[in-house]
Amino acid sequence: MSKITLGIIGGGQLGSMLSVAAKKLNIKTVVYSDDEKAPAQNFSDEFIFASYIDKEKVYDFAKRVDVITYEFENIPFETLNELSKLKTVLPKPSVNRLIQHRLAEKDFVNKLNIRTTRYVHIKNKDDLLPLEDFLPGILKTTTMGYDGKGQFPIQNINMIDSLNIDFDNEYILEKLVKLKKEISVIITRFSNNKYEVYEPIENTHENQILKYSKIPALISEKIFNQSKEWAILIAEELKYIGTLCVEFFIDRNDNLYVNEIAPRVHNSGHLTINAFNVSQFENHIRAVCSLEQIPIKKLSNAVMINLIGDQIIPYRNNLKLNDNQFFFDYLKKDIKKNRKMGHLTTLK
Ligand code: ADP
Ligand code: MG
């Protein structure tokens, strides 16, 4: 069989780790990013720097690859849709369109009889005024949010004026859940009822940014099973191909809620690189390139720590690691506050 070339849209750390996994499977990668400094170019075979709406460059990209996937959700739907007329795009563009909109995403999850936080659509400031019932809550932009960006915690109605909210955007207002824990379930779906689902991962956020992930998650058996079942139901219902992550909340009464779906590999799954026989990245490549499905097996428990901003520096300066520790440098040139620069996985 001739060598497959995989196109990856987006050039961040997820694109990098997908490229590394592809290389292991003898698959060539072309990364397409609108960031000239995109770190994935250090790991891919080829790199295209252009806007996501540059039609000519997008066509050129399509010509160079056999299959196309993406590493972040905020890619214009039109771009993915045009590409899908030329080459196979997985997960399919309609999945991305659904999930990149928080309201559509939450409506979809609720239709499956899966619990989410309570939410309401907010189109202008007046919509907020009668909503005491949803407070304290978090106002979130319906599109383009990540790592807590585009989110405003609201304690009470009187705060609204002081928040400087741009009502040119649409929002949802979500009731705040009294969190006991956050977990995520990563699943790679290959075809109907054919998937590999990883055990739930326990996540700790700081300033709405993921800081730690670990397995095993300290959760009840009921939540262990329920979270996996819901992730499977979501993946099947979307007819998803590739790796997907479902983020969950657990409240103080041990109720499970779906927080959001990421139609891609996920930061909380980085520990699968070292803790499983097949990582979330390799599984994604296997699924979108129609390669063999290998049953996953846990090799070890693990903890992953995100190295944010200048926390990367001691590791770059050859901090001594133990044999059970694995350091990943995303090779981002500029160190910025709140920027994910690398991670450290420790096997336990
Ligand atoms: P992002 O797209 O930025 O990941 P999320 O909706 O996942 O946005 O929010 C980021 C984090 O903020 C969550 O992981 C959680 O810690 C906190 N958070 C968000 N919404 C709620 C909520 N309704 N109740 C409690 N915590 C929340
Ligand atoms: Mg999130």
Band (145; pLDDT cuts 50, 70, 90):
confident
Ligand nearest to the CA of 250: 1
Region of 159 please: left (phi>0), alpha (psi -120 to 50) or beta. alpha
Cα(317) to ligand 2 centroid in Å equals 31
Residue of the nearest CA to atom 18 in ligand 1?
208
d(CA 286, CA 117): 33
Cα(174) to ligand 1 centroid in Å equals 10
What is the reported pLDDT for 1? Answer: 56
Provide, rounded to the nearest whole percent, the portion of the chain with pLDDT above 90.
87
Cβ within 8 Å of residue 30, ≥6 positions away: 5, 6, 7, 8, 44, 45, 46, 47, 48, 61, 64, 65
Cβ of 115: how many Cβ atoms within 10 Å? Answer: 16
Residue of the nearest CA to atom 23 in ligand 1?
176
d(CA 57, CA 75): 15
d(CA 335, CA 43): 19
- Atom of ligand 1 minimally distant from the CA of 145: 2
User: Is the pLDDT reported for residue 185 higher than 70?
Assistant: yes
Three-class SS state of 179: strand
Could you report the per-residue pLDDT of 186-218, keeping only the tens digit for each?
999 999 999 999 999 999 999 889 999 999 999
- Atom of ligand 1 minimally distant from the CA of 210: 14
User: Is the pLDDT reported for residue 157 higher than 60?
Assistant: yes
Domains and CATH numbers, the chain: 5-89 (3.40.50.20), 118-175 (3.30.1490.20), 179-347 (3.30.470.20)
Rounded to two decimals, what is the model's pTM? Answer: 0.96
Residue of the nearest CA to atom 2 in ligand 1?
146
What is the reported pLDDT for 205? Answer: 95
Cα(45) to ligand 2 centroid in Å equals 30
Could you report the per-residue pLDDT of 264-304, keeping only the tens digit for each?
999 999 999 999 999 999 999 999 999 999 999 999 999 99
- Atom of ligand 1 minimally distant from the CA of 176: 24
d(CA 88, CA 192): 18
Cβ of 23: how many Cβ atoms within 10 Å? Answer: 15
Cα(340) to ligand 1 centroid in Å equals 17
Helix boundaries (H) for the chain: 13-24, 55-64, 77-86, 93-99, 102-111, 125-128, 221-237, 272-275, 280-288, 313-316
The set of protein residues with a Cβ atom below 6 angstroms from ligand 1 is: 117, 138, 145-148, 174, 176-177, 179, 182, 205, 208, 247, 259-260
Could you report the per-residue pLDDT of 95-133, keeping only the tens digit for each?
999 999 999 999 999 999 999 999 999 998 888 888 888
Cα(103) to ligand 1 centroid in Å equals 14
Substitution site in 213, 259, 266 for ligand 1 pocket (most atoms within 8 Å of beta carbon): 259
